[in-house]
Protein backbone atom coordinates (compact mmCIF):
# COMPACT_ATOMS: atom_id res chain seq x y z
CA UNK A 1 0.00 0.00 0.00
CA UNK A 2 1.21 3.50 -0.84
CA UNK A 3 0.67 5.64 2.25
CA UNK A 4 1.75 8.78 0.31
CA UNK A 5 4.33 9.55 2.99
CA UNK A 6 7.31 10.29 0.77
CA UNK A 7 8.99 13.47 1.98
CA UNK A 8 6.65 14.05 4.93
CA UNK A 9 8.28 14.88 8.25
CA UNK A 10 7.28 12.87 11.31
CA UNK A 11 8.12 13.04 15.00
CA UNK A 12 7.43 9.95 17.11
CA UNK A 13 8.01 10.32 20.84
CA UNK A 14 8.87 7.34 23.00
CA UNK A 15 10.24 5.53 19.97
CA UNK A 16 13.41 3.81 21.15
CA UNK A 17 11.52 0.53 21.56
CA UNK A 18 8.11 -1.11 21.42
CA UNK A 19 5.14 0.45 19.64
CA UNK A 20 6.80 3.80 19.06
CA UNK A 21 9.84 2.18 17.49
CA UNK A 22 7.74 -0.02 15.21
CA UNK A 23 5.74 3.01 14.06
CA UNK A 24 8.84 5.11 13.40
CA UNK A 25 10.44 2.25 11.49
CA UNK A 26 7.43 1.78 9.22
CA UNK A 27 7.13 5.52 8.61
CA UNK A 28 10.75 5.55 7.48
CA UNK A 29 10.26 2.46 5.34
CA UNK A 30 7.35 4.21 3.63
CA UNK A 31 9.41 7.26 2.73
CA UNK A 32 8.92 9.69 5.62
CA UNK A 33 11.73 11.66 7.24
CA UNK A 34 11.50 10.62 10.88
CA UNK A 35 12.72 11.98 14.20
CA UNK A 36 12.78 9.49 17.05
CA UNK A 37 12.82 10.36 20.74
CA UNK A 38 13.57 8.61 24.00
CA UNK A 39 15.20 9.07 27.39
CA UNK A 40 18.12 6.66 26.90
CA UNK A 41 20.64 7.90 24.35
CA UNK A 42 22.33 4.53 23.84
CA UNK A 43 19.01 2.79 23.24
CA UNK A 44 17.96 5.58 20.88
CA UNK A 45 21.18 5.21 18.88
CA UNK A 46 20.55 1.48 18.61
CA UNK A 47 16.98 2.12 17.39
CA UNK A 48 18.27 4.59 14.80
CA UNK A 49 20.75 2.04 13.48
CA UNK A 50 18.01 -0.56 13.11
CA UNK A 51 15.68 1.88 11.33
CA UNK A 52 18.42 2.90 8.91
CA UNK A 53 19.27 -0.74 8.25
CA UNK A 54 15.69 -1.69 7.36
CA UNK A 55 14.60 1.51 5.60
CA UNK A 56 17.75 2.99 4.10
CA UNK A 57 16.86 6.25 5.87
CA UNK A 58 18.72 7.49 8.92
CA UNK A 59 16.30 9.06 11.41
CA UNK A 60 17.02 12.21 13.38
CA UNK A 61 17.46 11.75 17.13
CA UNK A 62 16.31 13.93 20.02
CA UNK A 63 17.04 12.66 23.51
CA UNK A 64 14.67 13.74 26.27
CA UNK A 65 12.12 12.65 28.86
CA UNK A 66 8.75 14.08 27.82
CA UNK A 67 7.47 13.70 31.39
CA UNK A 68 9.72 16.60 32.38
CA UNK A 69 8.49 20.18 32.02
CA UNK A 70 10.15 22.00 29.16
CA UNK A 71 11.39 18.83 27.46
CA UNK A 72 8.45 18.22 25.07
CA UNK A 73 8.78 21.76 23.74
CA UNK A 74 12.52 21.26 23.20
CA UNK A 75 11.95 17.91 21.51
CA UNK A 76 9.53 19.47 19.03
CA UNK A 77 11.79 22.44 18.31
CA UNK A 78 14.85 20.27 17.73
CA UNK A 79 12.86 17.93 15.49
CA UNK A 80 11.61 20.87 13.42
CA UNK A 81 15.12 22.28 13.10
CA UNK A 82 16.54 18.93 12.02
CA UNK A 83 13.78 18.15 9.50
CA UNK A 84 12.88 21.64 8.32
CA UNK A 85 9.28 21.42 9.52
CA UNK A 86 6.69 18.99 10.83
CA UNK A 87 3.77 17.20 9.20
CA UNK A 88 3.04 14.20 11.43
CA UNK A 89 3.17 13.86 15.20
CA UNK A 90 2.78 10.61 17.13
CA UNK A 91 2.67 11.14 20.89
CA UNK A 92 3.71 8.07 22.82
CA UNK A 93 5.04 7.60 26.33
CA UNK A 94 5.93 4.73 28.59
CA UNK A 95 3.29 3.53 30.98
CA UNK A 96 3.11 4.20 34.72
CA UNK A 97 3.73 1.50 37.34
CA UNK A 98 1.22 -1.29 37.87
CA UNK A 99 -0.61 -1.44 41.18
CA UNK A 100 -3.89 -0.99 42.99
CA UNK A 101 -5.54 2.26 44.06
CA UNK A 102 -4.22 2.27 47.64
CA UNK A 103 -0.66 1.67 46.45
CA UNK A 104 -0.29 5.21 45.13
CA UNK A 105 0.03 8.51 46.96
CA UNK A 106 -0.34 12.00 45.47
CA UNK A 107 3.27 12.11 44.32
CA UNK A 108 2.94 8.92 42.30
CA UNK A 109 -0.32 10.12 40.76
CA UNK A 110 1.33 13.41 39.80
CA UNK A 111 4.32 11.63 38.25
CA UNK A 112 1.98 9.45 36.20
CA UNK A 113 -0.06 12.50 35.19
CA UNK A 114 3.03 14.31 33.89
CA UNK A 115 4.02 11.28 31.81
CA UNK A 116 0.71 9.91 30.57
CA UNK A 117 -1.27 13.12 30.10
CA UNK A 118 0.80 16.29 30.15
CA UNK A 119 3.43 14.75 27.88
CA UNK A 120 0.78 14.59 25.14
CA UNK A 121 -0.51 18.08 25.92
CA UNK A 122 2.91 19.72 25.78
CA UNK A 123 4.05 17.96 22.62
CA UNK A 124 0.85 18.87 20.78
CA UNK A 125 0.86 22.47 21.99
CA UNK A 126 4.44 22.95 20.80
CA UNK A 127 3.69 21.27 17.46
CA UNK A 128 0.53 23.19 16.52
CA UNK A 129 2.28 26.25 14.98
CA UNK A 130 4.35 23.97 12.75
CA UNK A 131 1.44 21.69 11.84
CA UNK A 132 -0.49 24.76 10.65
CA UNK A 133 2.16 25.21 7.97
CA UNK A 134 1.83 21.63 6.70
CA UNK A 135 -0.28 20.47 3.77
CA UNK A 136 -0.90 17.11 5.49
CA UNK A 137 -0.98 17.74 9.26
CA UNK A 138 -1.89 14.79 11.43
CA UNK A 139 -1.58 13.90 15.12
CA UNK A 140 -1.92 10.43 16.60
CA UNK A 141 -2.01 9.84 20.35
CA UNK A 142 -1.03 6.40 21.64
CA UNK A 143 -3.30 5.31 24.46
CA UNK A 144 -4.64 1.86 25.41
CA UNK A 145 -7.81 -0.18 25.23
CA UNK A 146 -7.75 0.11 29.02
CA UNK A 147 -9.24 3.58 28.51
CA UNK A 148 -12.45 1.76 27.48
CA UNK A 149 -12.08 -1.53 29.33
CA UNK A 150 -10.02 -1.09 32.52
CA UNK A 151 -7.27 -3.62 33.14
CA UNK A 152 -6.89 -4.99 36.68
CA UNK A 153 -3.94 -3.66 38.67
CA UNK A 154 -3.39 -0.73 36.26
CA UNK A 155 -5.44 2.02 37.89
CA UNK A 156 -2.99 4.79 36.96
CA UNK A 157 -2.94 3.86 33.29
CA UNK A 158 -6.68 3.15 33.12
CA UNK A 159 -7.50 6.60 34.49
CA UNK A 160 -5.03 8.76 32.61
CA UNK A 161 -5.33 7.08 29.21
CA UNK A 162 -9.05 7.88 29.29
CA UNK A 163 -8.16 11.54 29.75
CA UNK A 164 -6.02 11.46 26.60
CA UNK A 165 -9.02 10.16 24.64
CA UNK A 166 -11.03 13.19 25.79
CA UNK A 167 -8.16 15.47 24.80
CA UNK A 168 -7.82 13.88 21.36
CA UNK A 169 -11.53 14.10 20.56
CA UNK A 170 -11.69 17.70 21.76
CA UNK A 171 -8.76 18.72 19.57
CA UNK A 172 -10.23 16.95 16.53
CA UNK A 173 -13.27 19.18 16.89
CA UNK A 174 -11.31 22.34 17.71
CA UNK A 175 -8.76 22.10 14.90
CA UNK A 176 -10.84 20.49 12.16
CA UNK A 177 -11.45 23.83 10.44
CA UNK A 178 -7.67 24.27 10.23
CA UNK A 179 -7.26 20.90 8.55
CA UNK A 180 -5.32 19.29 11.39
CA UNK A 181 -6.47 15.74 12.08
CA UNK A 182 -6.39 14.15 15.55
CA UNK A 183 -6.89 10.44 16.17
CA UNK A 184 -5.98 7.97 18.86
CA UNK A 185 -4.91 4.34 18.65
CA UNK A 186 -5.78 1.99 21.50
CA UNK A 187 -3.68 -1.17 21.55
CA UNK A 188 -4.50 -4.17 23.67
CA UNK A 189 -1.87 -6.66 24.75
CA UNK A 190 0.96 -6.51 22.22
CA UNK A 191 4.33 -8.25 22.31
CA UNK A 192 6.50 -5.43 23.65
CA UNK A 193 9.12 -5.05 26.36
CA UNK A 194 6.62 -3.25 28.61
CA UNK A 195 4.12 -6.09 28.32
CA UNK A 196 6.82 -8.54 29.38
CA UNK A 197 7.46 -6.31 32.40
CA UNK A 198 3.74 -6.24 33.30
CA UNK A 199 3.36 -9.99 32.81
CA UNK A 200 6.42 -10.57 35.00
CA UNK A 201 4.82 -8.44 37.72
CA UNK A 202 1.61 -10.47 37.44
CA UNK A 203 3.54 -13.72 37.66
CA UNK A 204 5.24 -12.58 40.85
CA UNK A 205 1.93 -11.46 42.35
CA UNK A 206 0.11 -14.69 41.37
CA UNK A 207 2.92 -17.13 42.05
CA UNK A 208 2.98 -18.25 38.40
CA UNK A 209 5.45 -18.02 35.52
CA UNK A 210 5.82 -15.42 32.81
CA UNK A 211 4.81 -17.97 30.15
CA UNK A 212 1.65 -18.88 32.07
CA UNK A 213 0.59 -15.25 32.42
CA UNK A 214 1.17 -14.55 28.71
CA UNK A 215 -0.85 -17.63 27.81
CA UNK A 216 -3.74 -16.59 30.10
CA UNK A 217 -3.82 -13.08 28.68
CA UNK A 218 -3.65 -14.32 25.10
CA UNK A 219 -6.81 -16.37 25.62
CA UNK A 220 -8.80 -13.13 25.98
CA UNK A 221 -8.45 -12.61 22.23
CA UNK A 222 -10.51 -14.67 19.77
CA UNK A 223 -7.21 -15.17 17.94
CA UNK A 224 -5.68 -16.75 21.03
CA UNK A 225 -2.58 -14.59 20.87
CA UNK A 226 -1.23 -11.13 21.52
CA UNK A 227 -0.68 -8.67 18.69
CA UNK A 228 2.68 -7.90 17.10
CA UNK A 229 4.26 -4.46 16.99
CA UNK A 230 4.15 -4.65 13.20
CA UNK A 231 0.37 -5.11 13.23
CA UNK A 232 0.04 -2.07 15.49
CA UNK A 233 2.35 0.01 13.30
CA UNK A 234 0.33 -0.68 10.15
CA UNK A 235 -2.78 0.79 11.80
CA UNK A 236 -0.87 3.72 13.31
CA UNK A 237 0.80 4.70 10.04
CA UNK A 238 -2.53 4.47 8.21
CA UNK A 239 -4.13 6.94 10.63
CA UNK A 240 -1.17 9.31 10.39
CA UNK A 241 -0.93 9.17 6.61
CA UNK A 242 -2.69 11.34 3.99
CA UNK A 243 -4.66 8.35 2.73
CA UNK A 244 -6.85 8.70 5.84
CA UNK A 245 -7.50 12.37 5.07
CA UNK A 246 -11.21 12.24 6.03
CA UNK A 247 -10.64 10.43 9.32
CA UNK A 248 -10.44 12.51 12.48
CA UNK A 249 -11.66 12.11 16.05
CA UNK A 250 -11.41 8.32 15.78
CA UNK A 251 -10.41 6.14 18.73
CA UNK A 252 -9.21 2.99 16.96
CA UNK A 253 -8.94 -0.11 19.13
CA UNK A 254 -6.24 -2.47 17.83
CA UNK A 255 -6.88 -5.36 20.14
CA UNK A 256 -7.50 -8.66 18.37
CA UNK A 257 -11.05 -8.66 19.75
CA UNK A 258 -10.06 -8.26 23.44
CA UNK A 259 -12.39 -5.27 23.89
CA UNK A 260 -15.77 -6.88 24.45
CA UNK A 261 -18.28 -4.02 24.23
CA UNK A 262 -20.27 -3.29 21.07
CA UNK A 263 -19.58 0.47 21.12
- pLDDT tens, per residue, the chain with 263 residues: 799 999 999 999 999 999 999 999 999 999 999 999 999 999 999 999 999 999 999 999 999 999 999 999 999 999 999 999 999 999 999 889 889 999 999 999 999 999 999 999 999 999 999 999 999 999 999 999 999 999 988 999 999 999 999 999 999 999 999 999 999 999 998 988 888 888 888 888 899 998 888 888 888 899 999 999 999 999 999 999 999 999 999 999 999 999 988 87
Q: How far apart are CA 129 and CA 126, in angstroms?
A: 7
Q: How far apart are CA 160 and CA 151, in angstroms?
A: 13
| 8-state DSSP, 207 | T
The pLDDT score that the predictor gives to residue 193 is 82
Considering the segment(s) 9-189+227-254 as one domain, its CATH architecture is 3-Layer(aba) Sandwich (3.40)
The pLDDT score that the predictor gives to residue 262 is 83
The pLDDT score that the predictor gives to residue 252 is 97
Residue 35: name the closest of 19, 7, 12, 8 by CA: 12
Q: How far apart are CA 115 and CA 128, in angstroms?
A: 20
Query: Which residues belong to CATH 3.40.50.720 in the chain?
Result: 9-189+227-254
The pLDDT score that the predictor gives to residue 216 is 87
Q: DSSP E strands: which ranges in the chain?
A: 9-12, 33-38, 60-63, 88-91, 138-142, 181-187, 251-254
- Mean pLDDT over the full length of the chain: 95
3-state secondary structure 138-175: EEEEECCHHHCCCCCCEHHHHHHHHHHHHHHHHHHHHH
The pLDDT score that the predictor gives to residue 52 is 98
253 beta partners: 186
11 beta partners: 35, 89
Residues making up the chain, counted from first to last: 263
Burial of residue 57, with CB atoms counted within 10 A of its CB: 0-12 exposed, 13-18 middle, 19 or more buried = middle
The pLDDT score that the predictor gives to residue 170 is 98
Amino acid sequence: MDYRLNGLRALVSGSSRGLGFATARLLAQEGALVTINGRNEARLEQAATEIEKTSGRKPCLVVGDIAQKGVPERVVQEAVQKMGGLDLLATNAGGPPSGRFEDFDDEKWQTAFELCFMGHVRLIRAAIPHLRQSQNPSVLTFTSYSAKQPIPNLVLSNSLRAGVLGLTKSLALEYGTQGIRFNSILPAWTETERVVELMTSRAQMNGTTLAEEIQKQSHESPFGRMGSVEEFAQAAVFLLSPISSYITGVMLTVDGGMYKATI
